[in-house]
Amino acid sequence: MLAAFTAATIPPFCAAQEAEVSFAEDIKPLLARRCYACHGPDDQSSGVALHERELAIAVADSGERAIVPGKPDASELLARVASHDEFERMPPEGEPLKDEEIDLLRRWIEQGAEWSNHWAFEPMQRPEAPEVEDAEWSANPIDAFVYAKLDEHHLRPAAQADRRTLARRLYFGVTGLPPTAAQLDAFLANESPDAWSELVGELLASPHYGEHWARHWLDLVRYAETNSFERDGQKPNAWKYRDYVIRSLNNDKPYDQFLREQLAGDELDEVNEDTITATGYYRLGIWDDEPADPAQARYDGWDDIISTTGQVMLGLTVGCARCHDHKIDPIPQADYYGMLSFFADVTPYGDRGDQQTNSQWVMEGAERSAERKKLQRSMQKIQRERVSMEEVGIKRMTAPDQRRSETHERKALLDEKLEQFLNESEWDQYQATRKRQRDLRRRLKALPEAESIMALATCIPKPEPTHIMMRGNPHAPGEVVEPHFPELFGQPAPEIPAADPNAHSAGRRRVLADWVTSPDNRLTARVIVNRVWQHHFGRGIVRSTNNFGQLGTPPTHPELLDWLAQWLVEHDWQLKPLHELILTSRAYQMSSAANPEALAADPTNDLLWRFDMRRLHSEEIRDALLVVTDNFNPQMYGPSFYPRLSQEVFATQSRPGEGWGDSTDEEVARRSVYMYIKRSLLPPFQTAFDFPDVDISCEARFVTVQPGQALTLMNGDYANLAASRLADRVEERGGDARQRVATAVEIALNRQAEEDEVIEGLAMIDRLRAEHGLDDRQALHQWCLTVINLSEFIFLD
């Protein structure tokens, strides 16, 4: 019996135990997640610290050593995490460590407890695609990496999915829309061996590609068209940034150029309308038009930019170092303010009296532009003077009137009572100020109309020195810091040329942009290829796509990640070829069918032995309803449309309906990426299906399955309107009841109806007529509503 128990019969999990344990990928994240709260950089309870090797192997207060390299039985850490005594077991709170986590620690200590740098902080490697035994799985280098990892764990990939499933997967994955019957039939009829690659190329060339993938980027950069906070005022021309992203993706603009334009589009050698529009990136965040602490709000604005840039472009949580050194990653507080110094010339979005000068770039001749900016600055100054005068009178009013001045009744109060609380000289000065303001407004209005763009319109060419703010307090400046890159990159201090007297900006952001997009930057390429992978496979090679730091999730296929990153750089940072490489891989074309052996060995599919089914995002569901009901308006670009909202939804506002426009039926039929996004009034249909919080960067949508979704698709106005339109299409095709039941399935699901579905549909229609008194049309409506509620409609196989 023992002789027959060969390596081939060892279960995959047991076989994998013999592999060398990686400190960076396996141990450091485990210690950071479960141990550092009590035994890390900030707290060394009982004299035990596990964040540095020298401290971890030192003698603790108890006289024991937490870790004795090579001797797991002598290591107190292992004894405590494996203890069954609730008073001795560590960690003291939360779930105990899992058996496999304890085993990892044991094997790591047994292998010498070596420390190493975190994988993401090491320069990219240049791995070669491995040689694998299956020739069909070695043609595409991606497949060679995937197959080799599966083979290492004694697993095999799933078979290829059927062509109909693949077509739907590809259409939604590339364009966010379902294929029409004609498109699907054309692909299924194409018997060429190149049919798949031809379809991939066709869809990547479709303008719908840019619309769909732009939405992924907009999630990352917290895109919305209003400012949040109490008034949630509009951001004029925000939609132009959205259109810039769509155009850039459709034109396959190199990713490094795409980032450079957003970080420093106003500082590049060639500045044009596109690069200016790109700097709208700085104006997308939330903004308080009446902050209680202006200095705090100013630094909050910078923090929003630093945090978003760090997570989105570098996969680093730099924002965690605002108040103190980063608890986990090697990012000291000085590095946070060194990053802030690059953005020191970025002005606030505006102030309450002027929300145009800083955020609206006027595309016109230099002379007229200078005149407009001069008038706008004068308007801003006069508005401050006017408000200051008004506050003098308000402070003399009764307490109730002072509180009234902080509401939307402020203007009415001032018109009614201000004169009573100002002396004659003060009132005359106030009236003169108002007249100057009216004159300036007329002069501004008299200037010829010019196109405005939401952008970084006004900068500070010579910003004040940047200080480390003690504990993040903007009123407690500490040491001065110069612009510099995080020390973990090991880069020398950048050389920043002095701004000339007529400079628009400080020139620092271009230096930052050059560094971020350098081929030598160890994170930028890794982060973006991981994001592309995420949206094709449902999760990234690194699942925590905004956090490549030590609390992030280690990569499942680190060699493949580095290979893809190098491949992208070598192919001029262009994303469409990267999409094509991924989409033509066998890994992407696998079936989602389960395999009992693989499920037991790898239940979360980290090794990618099959394709993961996914639920459609809210926009994909809404847009699919437009397509299958033949109500889709393909118009691209331009101002956003306002979806129809009920009075109950408007009632959630302090002033119901304020700031919400009225779009035509034709406009409302445009795809969801063109929907107006008001931060305080997100459409219920979108939020039911996990539309993101647009105040912060969203690395990945939540995917929930909850009752509100069923209620939205069964009882909601939008779903019922779609069901009615689907019924119209079914009736247009004619036929008897049986044919109509089948036609609804064929239109909605891109396949022939099965016999049992037809029987169920006919039985349902008969029951609705006999028991509930519905006529033929009403019963057909309910059947169409049922079809669009099927899991097959909202889940992608």
- pLDDT tens digit string along 276-334? 999 999 999 999 999 999 999 999 999 999 999 999 999 999 999 999 999 889 999 99
Helix (H) or strand (E) holding 294: helix 294-309
Question: Is 635 inside any structural domain?
Answer: no
Residue 110 and residue 13 share a domain: yes
Local structure of residue 451 (DSSP, 8 states): E
Q: How far apart are the first and last CA of the chain?
A: 43
Mode of pairing for the β-strands spanning 360-363 and 451-454: antiparallel
What's the distance, CA 297 to chain centroid?
Answer: 23
Question: Is 751 inside any structural domain?
Answer: yes
Question: Is 653 inside any structural domain?
Answer: no
Residue 468 and residue 335 share a domain: yes
Report pLDDT for 366: 63
Which of 420, 447, 474 represents a domain boundary (last residue)? 447
The position carrying tokens 């013999």 is: 18
Residues 6+ apart with CB under 8 A from 300: none
Residue 493 and residue 483 share a domain: yes
DSSP per position, 264-281: HTTTSSS--HHHHHHGGG
Which of 590, 615, 640 represents a domain boundary (last residue)? 615
Residue 260 and residue 194 share a domain: no
Cβ contact 726:784 at 8 Å: yes
Cβ contact 641:671 at 8 Å: no
Nearest CA among 572, 601, 602, 568 for reference residue 582:
568
Torsion angle (degrees, nearest 10) of CA 248, 254, 258, 261: -110
The amino acid sitting at 124 is M
Q: Which residues of the chain have pLDDT under 50?
A: 1-17
The position carrying tokens 């004694």 is: 154
**Cα distances (Å, whole numbers) of residue 175 to 167, 183, 199, 205, 623:** 12, 13, 12, 10, 11
Report pLDDT for 18: 55
Residue 156 — φ and ψ, nearest 5°? -130, 150
DSSP per position, 471-488: GG-TTSEEEEE-----GG
Question: Is 63 inside any structural domain?
Answer: yes
Residue 414 and residue 486 share a domain: no
**Both tokens assigned to 375:** 């008038």
- What's the structural domain count of the chain? 5
Mapped onto helix, strand or coil, the DSSP state of residue 411 is helix
DSSP per position, 17-64: TTSPPPIIIIIHHHHHHHTHHHHSSS-BGGG---SSHHHHTSB-TTS-
Which of 615, 630, 661 represents a domain boundary (last residue)? 615
CA distance 240 to 212: 16
CA distance 188 to 195: 9
Q: Backbone dihedral region of 471: left (phi > 0), alpha (psi from -120 to 50 degrees) or beta?
A: left
Question: Is 16 inside any structural domain?
Answer: yes
CA distance 331 to 319: 10
Residue 185 and residue 126 share a domain: yes
CA distance 45 to 77: 13
The range of the structural domain enclosing residue 54 comes to 7-116
Question: Is 638 inside any structural domain?
Answer: no
Residue 441 and residue 471 share a domain: no
**Both tokens assigned to 596:** 């009992």
Cα dihedral sign, 318-320-322-325: negative
Question: Is 709 inside any structural domain?
Answer: no
The amino acid sitting at 630 is D
The position carrying tokens 């001797």 is: 71
CA distance 595 to 143: 19
Report pLDDT for 87: 79
What's the distance, CA 343 to chain centroid?
Answer: 22
Helices (H) and strands (E) in the chain, counts: 35, 6
Mapped onto helix, strand or coil, the DSSP state of residue 385 is helix
Helix (H) or strand (E) holding 615: strand 614-615
Report pLDDT for 36: 85
Residue 534 and residue 483 share a domain: no
Residue 324 and residue 264 share a domain: yes
Q: Backbone dihedral region of 710: left (phi > 0), alpha (psi from -120 to 50 degrees) or beta?
A: alpha
Bridge partners (DSSP) listed for residue 590: 160
- pLDDT tens digit string along 732-749? 999 999 999 999 999 999
Q: Rounded to two decimals, what is the model's pTM?
A: 0.85
CA distance 190 to 497: 59
Residue 82 and residue 138 share a domain: no
- pLDDT tens digit string along 329-349? 999 999 999 999 999 999 999
Residue 266 and residue 341 share a domain: yes
Nearest CA among 433, 434, 276, 447 for reference residue 376:
447
The amino acid sitting at 427 is W
Residue 164 and residue 99 share a domain: no
Mapped onto helix, strand or coil, the DSSP state of residue 671 is coil
Question: Is 291 inside any structural domain?
Answer: yes
Report pLDDT for 365: 67
Residue 235 — φ and ψ, nearest 5°? -100, 100
CA distance 791 to 615: 9
